[in-house]
Amino acid sequence: MTDALNVARDTSGDIPVDEARTASGQRIFTGQLFRVRDRHGWGFTEEAPTPPPDPVRRSVRVAQMLALAHRLQAAIDRGDFRDRADLARQLGVTRARVSQLLDLLMLAPDLQEQLLDLEAVDGVEPLSERALRALVKL
């Protein structure tokens, strides 16, 4: 099938590839090249590109807000704050925001547990607090 096998180079002369010729004279190039992006666009190299970094995982923001709501409610129950309005004044947020946070506690316990297990991967949140608030209203 192949009459000759020799080493050829690409047009820039940097990357060795194997060149073979078939009986009919067609050239076949073999080798391992990787397409990579450089400052001028796309190019080819023998070296494999570095693998992408491992995804960054963290707890979702909604889970953090739910944990905060549990701590705030516990502080009210202990008597650290008289009511939600006093809590809002002390924290420097609006009463509406405190109510939004504490309303998360009205979710069923199994849903709260699932929320605490959720992870955001590379900063992508699977669920927004606004969407969750709509569920609380139901």
pLDDT tens string, the chain, 138 residues long: the values are: 444 444 444 445 555 567 778 888 888 777 777 888 877 888 877 788 788 889 899 899 999 999 999 999 999 999 999 999 999 999 999 999 999 999 999 999 999 999 999 998 988 888 888 888 888 877
Residues 28 and 92 reside in one and the same domain: no
Which DSSP string do the residues of 71-94 spell out, in sequence order? Answer: HHHHHHHHTSSSSHHHHHHHHTS-
pLDDT at 3: 40
**Domain-located, residue 116:** yes
Residues 21 and 69 reside in one and the same domain: no
For residue 126, what are the domain limits? Answer: 57-137
Tokens 């900063």, residue located: 123
List residues bridging with 27 in a β-sheet. 21
**Domain-located, residue 129:** yes
**Domain-located, residue 51:** no
Q: Which two tokens stand for residue 73?
A: 């409610």
Residues 10 and 76 reside in one and the same domain: no
Residues 32 and 68 reside in one and the same domain: no
**Domain-located, residue 23:** yes
**59 contacts 119 by C-beta, under 8 angstroms:** yes
List residues bridging with 41 in a β-sheet. 38
